[in-house]
Amino acid sequence: MKILENYPKEVKVFLLASLINSTGSSLMWPLTTMFVFDELGRNMADAGLVILIQAVGGIIGQLLGGSLYHRVGVKKLIVGSLALNAIGLFALPVISQYWYFYMALMGFIGFCNALSLPAIQAFIGFRFADRRGELFNIIYVANNIGVALGTALSGFLADISYKLTFIANGLTSVIFAFFFLNYLNRLNKEQGEVHLDKKTTSATEESVWGLLSNTRIYLYLGLGSMFILLGNSIWNSGVSPFIISEGIPKKAYGFLWTLNGVLIFVAQPMISLLKRWLARTSSSQMTMSAVFYLLAYIVILLTHNYTGMVLAMILATIGEMLISPAIPSFISDHAGRSAPFYIGLSGGVGAVGKVIGPYAMGVLYDGGGLVPVAWLASGTAVIGVIFFVIHAIQNRADKYGEESTVI
């Protein structure tokens, strides 16, 4: 993208490292169910339990990662969590034969992987404060390119060995850890507000309870994200079994996600126009995102066919492209030094939807097929719109982008 020409070399290297890490991370998640069912010989309930444990570990990691940013320091937090994640991945080929240890290790991997996320996002917000909104969006695109590459490679690696995916994922985590270690060691600490160590913590820093009381920053944003993510479970727990039950080729489901990845890259000019004309602030982008998700689920509810699902995926992808960079951008703009805490908190609250959604929709699908699942997704999108509207109203004083910090 031409926009990269305006950024220094360190940003381009960061994007490359981020792409490599996201490629490695996405190698494993499509194969977790297959590994448990095929390689370990367990049933689908056991596979769902593993995914649940990993998701819960991720929620805890998000919450803790934001709280530890200033207490531990960005270098120890990011590099340490990536290194621990790599150790867990390298241990999987040995541990996987012991079922309960395997489940515990998957929870540990989910925890370590999520532990670094709010720290990385907060660091970007501090380091590149003048253009953080643009950079969050570029990194989001780069990560999704990595996801597309990783999911494509995962099938080939699985044909060779499931355990090879664990090792490949661990290697990319090691590469990302070494990148950050080298990058942060070389970074000039006087160049911008980067909060590299614990010394940056001021005596006036609020307690956790004090930060939690400022609900304007995180509460309705987090709840809106939670309901959006809950509804988005329709793709795995509604659309996927519907395609199988209708006798549609399974590759058609894969095409939907290929379409998602392609759109995230090629539809950036359209998203830029939407932001310029209709959603100039981060808060309005979140609200518009929820509206697009709602439209997607309504299409699924009304059409009940594959063509409708393609259109729904296009609408949902637009919603995804609007919300994903908007949340860390808003928090970085409005939360000041407390941004790491709020990024982790909002991410943890939002991730609850990923835990609840698959089970709730699975039960509904078993009872009535795609229709009740689509109704639930539409309902959660409506609730998401309401929460994001409340969030926008509470922060309307910053309508034109004035910075409002929480010290």
| The three-state (H, E, C) secondary structure of 202-260, written as one string | CCCCCCHHHHHCCHHHHHHHHHHHHHHHHHCCHHHHHHHHHHHHCCCCHHHHHHHHHHH
- The closest of 344, 289, 386 to 71, measured between CA atoms, is 344
The secondary element (H helix, E strand) that includes residue 115 is: helix 99-115
Residue 397 CA to residue 394 CA, distance in Å, equals 8
Residue 297 has a pLDDT of 97
Q: What does pTM read for this prediction? A: 0.80
How far apart are alpha carbons 257 and 56 in whole angstroms?
Answer: 24
Return the pLDDT at 223: 96
158 and 292 both lie in a single domain: no
- Is the residue at 46 inside a domain? yes
Query: What does the mean pLDDT of the chain come to?
Result: 82
Predicted pLDDT of residue 10? 67
Q: Count how many domains the chain has.
A: 2
**Tokens encoding 357:** 């959604």
376 within a domain of the structure (yes/no)? yes
Query: 8: helix, coil or strand?
Result: coil
CATH number at residue 95: 1.20.1250.20
Same domain, 324 and 398: yes
Provide the pLDDT for residue 309. Answer: 94
Say yes or no: 108 and 153 in one domain.
Answer: yes
117: its two tokens: 């996320």
Residue 285 · residue 275 · CB < 8 Å: yes
> How far is residue 20's CA from residue 329's CA, in Å, rounded to a whole number?
23
Regarding whether 90 and 48 lie in a shared domain, the answer is yes
Range of the domain at 301: 211-406
Q: How do the pLDDT tens digits run along the chain, 407 residues long? A: 455 566 666 677 777 777 777 777 776 666 676 678 778 887 756 777 887 888 888 889 888 888 888 788 888 888 898 999 999 999 998 888 899 999 999 999 989 988 888 888 888 777 777 777 778 888 888 877 877 777 667 667 767 777 788 888 888 889 888 888 888 787 755 454 444 444 444 434 567 777 888 888 899 999 999 999 999 988 878 888 888 788 888 778 878 888 888 898 888 889 989 988 888 899 999 999 999 999 999 999 999 899 999 999 999 999 999 998 899 889 988 888 888 889 889 988 988 998 888 888 888 888 888 999 999 999 999 999 999 999 999 887 544 444 444 33
In a domain, 199, yes or no: no
